[in-house]
Amino acid sequence: MLVILPVAAACASPGMPPGGPEDHAPPMLVSVSPDTNATNVKAKAVTFRFNEVVSERPGAASSLDKLVVLSPSDGAARVRWRRSAIQVRPRHSFRPNTTYTITLLPGIADLRGNIHTTPFTTTFSTGPELSRTRLSGVVFDWVSGKPAARAFVQAHQRTDTTFTWIAQADSAGRFELRSFPSGSYLVRAIVDANDNRGLDPREAWDSVGVAVADSARVEIYAFVHDTIGPRINTVTVADSVTLQVEFDKAIDPKVPVTPAQFVMLATDSTTTAIVSLPSDSTISDERSARERARSDSGSAVPGAKDSAQADSVRRARAARPGPTDSRVPLPRPARGRAAAPVDTVPLPKPTRPLPKTRLNLRLAKLLKPATTYRLRATDIRGLLGNARTSDKLFTTPKPPEPAPTDSTRPTTPRPRSSADSLRRTPARPTGIDSLRRVPPAPQAPPVKP
């Protein structure tokens, strides 16, 4: 032992931790059995081998089976951990004359927590040839209008619902199903919130039918399928003639909402008519116009003879460079690992009109302050076409109270008016007038006894 220790110590480089440099590289896939694009496959399982031991509990998912997508499938795939290998097999067995696709999603990690961030897909056939059909598309969250990231997609023939082709959408909602027989399919997408690859209550989903000969593309707009129509949730006073009405569910964009569907009553049973339903952009444009008019009226430039001269003065002031602050540090280049590549591909945008959960009501007359109103919405239809009528009470805010006066501040004497100057008492005589005697008043003669 005394001889081995110096030799072991001499093997380490100066300044290097024991065992060499730290490993920051994710596990790399070195082989797949059977090979990609293989035909007439008779294997019972597909084996993915890596260059190091992979973690049985990846950090990007609850288990390894959440990182494996087997298509087509007759149930949940069986995924087994074999240290530096992962084995995948169907629930029962591979069907003959069928093309299979297995995808390893990003998230495979080694024992040090280094995660593989790119997916890998392999395709093989249990028959003599590979199927070349493709079905691509995008899944949208219809209410928010955004792509549904990592949505779970299923497709099955209308005559066989037990055998499904599945895929998982990427972060932009895009998906692709490959290698299935031509025919008529029903495609369903689920915004899988709990990642159990199944439809649960209150999860957004939708389905669409499509006929596939060689390739096709679809757009799926997922939403919560609720059989109860929308009702009024809140009423907000935007200004003296505008209300913002928020509903608890989205409104069907295919059925226009009219002012005649709203009635507003005050406590004295007087009715206030609804004249229009302005859009959010209209409300924003009106607000911007008012603010612009207010700023223009209060931004007169001293010494400017006209508005053109005032505009030129404002532009000159805006273009004047301001003082620089030398204390602000300059950005430094990042150190350590290289930053992840930025995805420059623009996100897909929906081509279908988006549903709304909020409407703006423009009133025919001004709202009274500190008054309770009842607003009724009649036959408002949801995304499934179900109509509902609902009422909501709301109270307008009180008018602002005047600012309190400060009694400790000294009061300014009130200036005297011309009338006050006329009421002045005559001043005492001065100068020569003060030497003049005023004759005494006459007295009554004394009475003789």
Q: What is the pLDDT of residues 401-442, one digit of tens each?
A: 877 766 666 655 665 555 555 455 555 554 434 444 545 555
Q: What's the CA gap between 75 and 194, in Å, rounded?
A: 18
Return the structure tokens found at 30: 């070195």
Res. 98: pLDDT tops 70:
yes
Sorting pLDDT into bands at 50, 70 and 90, what band is 167? very high
What is the predicted pLDDT for the residue at 396?
Answer: 94
| The CATH fold of domain 25-130 | Immunoglobulin-like (2.60.40)
**Is the whole-model pTM more than 0.75?**
no
Compute the average pLDDT of residues 59-75. Answer: 85
What is the predicted pLDDT for the residue at 126?
Answer: 93
Q: How far apart are the first and last CA of the chain?
A: 160
Res. 161: pLDDT tops 60:
yes
Q: What's the CA gap between 257 and 251, in Å, rounded?
A: 9
Res. 301: pLDDT tops 60:
no
Res. 253: pLDDT tops 90:
yes
Among residues of the chain, what percentage have pLDDT more than 90? 54
Res. 353: pLDDT tops 90:
yes
Q: What is the pLDDT of residues 6-56, one digit of tens each?
A: 444 444 444 445 555 677 888 999 999 999 999 999 989 999 999 999 998
Q: What is the pLDDT of residues 323-345, one digit of tens each?
A: 544 444 544 444 434 444 445 67
Domain positions in the chain are: 25-130, 131-225, 226-280+354-399
25-130 and 226-280+354-399, same CATH topology: yes
What is the predicted pLDDT for the residue at 32?
Answer: 93
Q: What is the pLDDT of residues 112-126, one digit of tens each?
A: 888 888 889 999 999
The answer for residues whose C-beta is within 8 angstroms of residue 189's C-beta and 6 or more apart is: 139, 148, 151, 152, 153, 154, 169, 175, 205, 206, 207, 220, 222
Sorting pLDDT into bands at 50, 70 and 90, what band is 290? confident
Q: What's the CA gap between 296 and 318, in Å, rounded?
A: 15
Q: What's the CA gap between 230 and 380, in Å, rounded?
A: 6
The per-residue pLDDT of the chain, averaged, comes to 81
Q: What's the CA gap between 27 and 116, in Å, rounded?
A: 6
Q: Does domain 131-225 have CATH number 2.60.40.1120?
A: no
Architecture of domain 226-280+354-399: Sandwich (2.60)
Question: Within a 10 A sphere around the Cβ of 112, how many other Cβ atoms?
Answer: 13
